[in-house]
Structure 1
Amino acid sequence: MTTKQNPEVTVLMPVYNGEKYLKEAMISILNQSFQDFEFIIINDASTDNSAEVIKQFDDKRIRYFENSENLCLSRTLNKGLNLSKGNYVARMDQDDISLLDRLEKQLNFLENNKEYGICGSFIENFGAKEGIEIYPVIDELIRIHLLFYSTFAHPSVMFRKSFFEKFNLFYNSEFEYCEDYDLWSRAKKHFKLANINEVLLKYRVHSTGMSVVGKNKQDKMADFVRNNQLKDIGINSNSEELRIHHSLICNMFENSDEYVNAVEKWLLKLIEGNKTYNIYDKKTFHEFLGKFWFEVIKLRLDTGLKCWKKYIGSELRKSIYNNKNTRKIFFRALINEFKNFLGGTCV
């Protein structure tokens, strides 16, 4: 239990019908190596025995609140932010497990890097899906990746509360299903972001995923978030451009000349927009987009030297990718050109 008037860290955990794994999640927080924290738990009108599980814990660090009606995640999180007393706020979900030194390592990073406002980490999936998920670590790469998708595991983050207050940052309930992605995309305009390059949270994956309706809503909201960021580099994207953008995010590349041309046009438009508005480091931005161009071009290697000419003649190749990959494209295209000439099967 902290002896100070206010704790250094607030751990914020909304709960909705989480009785099955709630005890394990709570224990992982209460047993942290860093102990100077308050643990705000907000029961969002659960209809199961979540309240009973929470009340089994007799720990003065726990501050327990109940919503009289279901507010959903965004509004519940905002309520928790308003209630928080810590200098830093760490998110936690009702079914995940924080590793023993999670709070300590994130706090140390933010204390030693005063220009940073958000710190996440890698996560380890368990349950219905297993494996390590890694995220970009460096601020510039995080900011660029956010133009395409979220770069934080939401329950892994810790953020500096004073920055959120200074820049009036909060969860927007209009972006339910991707409220975190929207928040990060706004936060990146004001301060630096980081991920610690090690696993600090075990993320439970359930066999029953999001419904089709929920997934469609999430995709729609995520497109709004991307559109808002595209406007920062002067781009008002149309539906076809968003389709191309989304295909790059999901690695749903199309093996056609029309698609390759559309991708080239879109990536060059992004580069030109950034040149004008100077939002992202130009070299890093070019290299990032160049990886998309390289992967898309590889699908057309069956066309032989036609593919090579498209690659080598593009402004994307000239300033973005390295000689090793240029040689790789050339030799594979040359082999396929030879096979096509002989009437063989492309590789």
Structure 2
Amino acid sequence: MNLRPSVSVIMPTYNGEKNILEQLDSIRQQTYPVEEVIILDDRSTDNTVSMVKEYIKKYNLTNWQVEENKKNLGWRLNFFCLLNKASGDIVFPSDQDDIWYLDKINKMVDFFLSHSTANVLVSNYDELIEFGGVSYPCSQRVIEKVTQEGRIPFTLKNIYLNRPGWVYAVRKSFLKEVKIFFDFGVVPVHDSAMWSVGVLTDSLFILREPTGQWRKHGQSAMRTEKKDETKKGLFGIRIRKLERLKEITISSIHYLEHSSASIPQKKDRAQILHKLIREYEIRSSIMEKRKIYLVFTNISKYTSLHPILADLWFLIKNK
């Protein structure tokens, strides 16, 4: 990597006219030079595309480009398409409605320069909660055993992402590993892919300070999915959550099987992941049958105390 690495910012858009200009401002005004900004619209039905084009023209942003998908891909696939398009040494995913602090890129690039083994970097964030929005303070949840230099190690808890995708940055040279996760994953998501592959290769790090505001409102794609899930009832929601965790775990196993990268304790980590899959299958079965005693009869199949207590609490509370 050059002494002054080039930076790409990628942004998928869909019906984002309400908040997108504020986010574009926060990217344009970054204190670190941005080599390219690639915006890929997923067939918006509002004025998102025309607003972005007018913005680019207004500020003469010759290194910015906006493209439109020929068909709607959905936000997951749209992000992966953008990762493949980026050419900068370091790639920054961006949502269409958050606000970056103006030194975000500068601080995260500096971190990469001082931590040569970091391939994926996440940060903390502040929340901007609007009407209809719900706080999601994952930055307050403890990440286990983070090293003094900021590396997030492989543990049962750290396998699963603990930060939203817009606080990530990834080395372009590492995207080939993320692509393996995507190619062989089960319903892969860009932030989950980067987090999982980073943890598995001991190259996921955290910058322990906020780099922007996560706008929380009732119109995001993730929020819409969660509303749909509430129709399934409390037990249905919990079973679906366990299924998602199982999907991420299976995807991690597939990554280990297909990657040629040097992965520490590869066999041991694969065994742990297989145990987690069996645990999720048992837990889903218990939730379907809604029987408290089944937790105790299957207690040896749990991997730690926390899920045992969590299942007992949920079953007792919703008896």
When the two structures are superposed, what TM-score results if normalisation uses the length of structure 1? 0.64
Aligned match of 1:196:
207
Question: Which deviations, in whole Å up to 9, do the C-alpha atoms of 1:277-298 show, x marking residues without a partner?
Answer: xxxxxxxxxxxx56x2896799
CA gap of 1:175–1:44, structure 2 versus 1, over 3 A, is farther
Counterpart Cα distance in 2 of 1:51 and 1:173: 32
> Shift of the alpha carbon at 1:55?
1.3
Counterpart Cα distance in 2 of 1:173 and 1:13: 24
Counterpart Cα distance in 2 of 1:24 and 1:67: 23
Aligned match of 1:161:
172
Aligned match of 2:82:
80
- Of stretches 226-235 and 97-106 in structure 1, the one that deviates more from structure 2 is 226-235
Question: Which deviations, in whole Å up to 9, do the C-alpha atoms of 1:142-169 show, x marking residues without a partner?
Answer: 654343x312321110001112236754
> Shift of the alpha carbon at 1:92?
0.4
Counterpart Cα distance in 1 of 2:275 and 2:114: 39
> Shift of the alpha carbon at 1:187?
3.9
Aligned match of 2:51:
53
Aligned match of 2:279:
241
Secondary structure at the aligned position of 1:68 is classed as: coil
CA gap of 1:159–1:246, structure 2 versus 1, over 3 A, is farther
Contact 1:169 1:183 in 2 (8 A): no
Aligned match of 1:69:
71
Aligned match of 2:18:
20
Counterpart Cα distance in 2 of 1:14 and 1:173: 22
For residues 146-185 of structure 1, the aligned pairs below 5 Å read 146-147=158-159, 149-165=160-176, 168-169=179-180, 171-172=182-183, 175-176=186-187, 178-185=189-196
Aligned match of 1:104:
106
Question: Which deviations, in whole Å up to 9, do the C-alpha atoms of 1:30-74 show, x marking residues without a partner?
Answer: 111112431111112111100111012232231221212112233
Counterpart Cα distance in 1 of 2:188 and 2:16: 18
CA gap of 1:218–1:68, structure 2 versus 1, over 3 A, is farther
Which of 104, 112, 121 is 1:119 aligned to? 121
| AA matched with 1:20 | K
State the aligned residue count: 267
CA gap of 1:295–1:187, structure 2 versus 1, over 3 A, is same
Aligned match of 2:261:
none
Of structures 1 and 2, the one with the larger relative CO (CA 8 A, separation 6+) is 2
Aligned match of 2:302:
266
CA gap of 1:144–1:96, structure 2 versus 1, over 3 A, is same
CA gap of 1:143–1:151, structure 2 versus 1, over 3 A, is farther
Counterpart Cα distance in 2 of 1:84 and 1:197: 26
Percent sequence identity over aligned pairs: 22
Counterpart Cα distance in 2 of 1:239 and 1:7: 40
Counterpart Cα distance in 2 of 1:93 and 1:47: 18
> Shift of the alpha carbon at 1:81?
2.4
CA gap of 1:173–1:257, structure 2 versus 1, over 3 A, is closer
Counterpart Cα distance in 1 of 2:248 and 2:166: 20
Contact 2:101 2:212 in 1 (8 A): yes
Counterpart Cα distance in 2 of 1:243 and 1:31: 48
Counterpart Cα distance in 2 of 1:82 and 1:229: 20
Contact 1:117 1:193 in 2 (8 A): yes
| AA matched with 1:145 | K
Question: Which deviations, in whole Å up to 9, do the C-alpha atoms of 1:90-142 show, x marking residues without a partner?
Answer: 01000111111111111111111111100011122222234754163543446
CA gap of 1:240–1:168, structure 2 versus 1, over 3 A, is closer
Alignment root-mean-square deviation, CA: 3.8
Secondary structure at the aligned position of 2:21 is classed as: helix
Gaps of 5+ in 1: 248-253, 268-288, 300-347
Gaps of 5+ in 2: 254-268, 314-319
Secondary structure at the aligned position of 1:188 is classed as: helix
Counterpart Cα distance in 1 of 2:95 and 2:105: 14
The reply to whether residue 129 of structure 1 matches residue 134 of structure 2 is yes
Contact 2:90 2:172 in 1 (8 A): yes
Aligned match of 1:331:
none
Contact 1:73 1:176 in 2 (8 A): no
Secondary structure at the aligned position of 1:194 is classed as: strand
Counterpart Cα distance in 1 of 2:137 and 2:272: 36
> Shift of the alpha carbon at 1:79?
2.7
Counterpart Cα distance in 1 of 2:21 and 2:86: 22
For residues 32-51 of structure 1, the aligned pairs below 5 Å read 32-51=30-49
